[in-house]
Amino acid sequence: MSAGLVSVLFVAAGLVAVGAFISAWKKDLTAALAGLPLMFAGAGVAFAGASRFATPGGPPAFGQEVAALVAVAALALVALAVGIAGRGTSR
């Protein structure tokens, strides 16, 4: 049994939805930032899955590269946001 494109896109949509829910639900800014990596992970899963099923004969490297780039961007965005949030509360 193999996962299809629809399954991959449902998982990606679920990750984005859970991340958006966490970001909207938490009242504290630093706690709300925990949803951002989940939303970026959903985007990465969608890129990797679409790339995997778009080229059945070729290598799906482009989607995996974009997913890795999205993961690095998520890490940088969360680090920047935590730094900004921590700076605002110290005064």
Domain boundaries, the chain: 5-85
- Residue 60 predicted with pLDDT over 70: no
Task: Give the residue, 56 or 90, on which the prediction is more confident.
Answer: 56
- Residue 20 predicted with pLDDT over 60: yes
Q: Say which range, 10-24, 53-67, 72-86, has the weakest mean pLDDT.
A: 53-67
Residue-wise DSSP of the chain: ----HHHHHHHHHHHHHHHHHHHHH--SHHHHTTHHHHHHHHHHHHHHHHHHHH-SSS--HHHHHHHHHHHHHHHHHHHHHHHHHHHHH--
pLDDT at residue 12, rounded to an integer: 93
pLDDT at residue 51, rounded to an integer: 82
- The mean pLDDT of the chain is 82
